[in-house]
Structure 1
Amino acid sequence: MKFGIVGAITFFIDTGIFYTLKLTILSPKPVTSKVIAVLAATIVSYVLNREWSFRTRGGRRPHHEATLYFVISGIAVGMYSAPLWISRYLLHLQTPFTSRLVEEIADFTSGQIIGLLVGMAFRWWAFRKWVFPAEQPDGRAAPRDRISTP
């Protein structure tokens, strides 16, 4: 539930940045706009997931945890962006091949719905498995209250 709420918050961040960039300074580069938007949302997501969603899981040192989080999120950026890239450059759902309305619907569907679902499912699974596991790397149960270790 908490992961879903964090996802909703970061969806609005992602969507706001994506459309702000796509409709202004990066209008000819929608995939670049999407990558920048996902990166910004990922930073917010890390803080919220670490401090709230997975607070009682994990137990890794903060720098190891952050490294794993951002490596997995880097893979997810490709997963979030791939449907938009496919829609634009393989299916040619962009002007002049289609109308502006079709282009916008295709961009939203592929970038904000399909990409989001694929990336979020991967991140939820990977975060639970590797970043915030129920057990620590040495096999002990994760602490119930997170204590930062140097």
Structure 2
Amino acid sequence: MTAAPSQRPSLRERLSLLAREIAKFGAVGGVGLLVNLAVFNLVRHTTELQVVRASILATVVAIACNYVGFRYFAYRDRDKSRRTKELTLFLLFSAVGLVIENGVLYTATYGFGWDGPLQSNVFKFIGIGVATLFRFWSYRTWVFRRLRPEPVAVPERVPETERVPEAEPGTVT
């Protein structure tokens, strides 16, 4: 008697999937980090915007870049049936991440007076790191939801008394 194949992946398979997801998330996030820091430094050094305002602008540009990367690369295999809800949740959780990221920079800049170019970049980077942990959890849990696997039909086992005998090779039935 054979058991029905398990529909739940093994721990090894789940860890492998998680590792791939983290790698894809990291690739998109890495591009977003570069965009964020490049826009931040460009705005900071070419305009008179205050540090945190420049950072918020840079974060918004990176969020737009990241959505495209997450939807069409990292989470392309996820549910696409509710794009409006997905985008709304993405923007909501991204806004929370923006507050976390820029809250760290704000505290360093206005709470401790650390507002030199190097200090601003260090605390922006730290803020991005903290916000990234929140974003990873929220995006994978609420925004880019995994499709539910369709149940696998397991054929019923026919009792031996009801089986039709197989024809022997060369016989006509």
Work out which structure has the larger RCO, using CA pairs closer than 8 Å and 6 or more positions apart in sequence.
1
2:72 counterpart residue number? 51
CA RMSD of aligned residues (A): 1.5
**Secondary structure of the equivalent of 1:26?**
coil
Q: 1:35 aligns with which of 56, 65, 90?
A: 56
> What is the distance in 1 between the residues matched to 2:99 and 2:81?
26
1:148 counterpart residue number? none
> What is the distance in 2 between the residues matched to 1:58 and 1:32?
35
Q: Is the CA contact (8 Å cut-off) linking 1:42 and 1:73 kept in structure 2?
A: yes
1:72 counterpart residue number? 93
Deviation of residue 141 (structure 1)? 3.7
Q: Which runs of 5+ in 1 are unaligned?
A: 95-102, 143-150
Q: 1:118 to 1:81 in 2, by over 3 A?
A: same
CA offsets 1:30-80 (integer angstroms, 9 cap, x no match): 100000000001001001101110111234411111111011101111111
2:39 counterpart residue number? 17
The letter for the 2-side match of 1:120 is: T
The letter for the 2-side match of 1:118 is: V
Q: Which runs of 5+ in 2 are unaligned?
A: 1-22, 151-173
Deviation of residue 93 (structure 1)? 1.5
Equivalent pairs, count? 128
> What is the distance in 2 between the residues matched to 1:76 and 1:26?
25
The letter for the 2-side match of 1:72 is: F
TM score, norm. by length of structure 2: 0.70
Q: 1:133 aligns with which of 128, 145, 151?
A: 145
- Runs of 4 or more off by more than 4 Å in structure 1? none
> What is the distance in 1 between the residues matched to 2:79 and 2:133?
19
> What is the distance in 2 between the residues matched to 1:35 and 1:62?
25
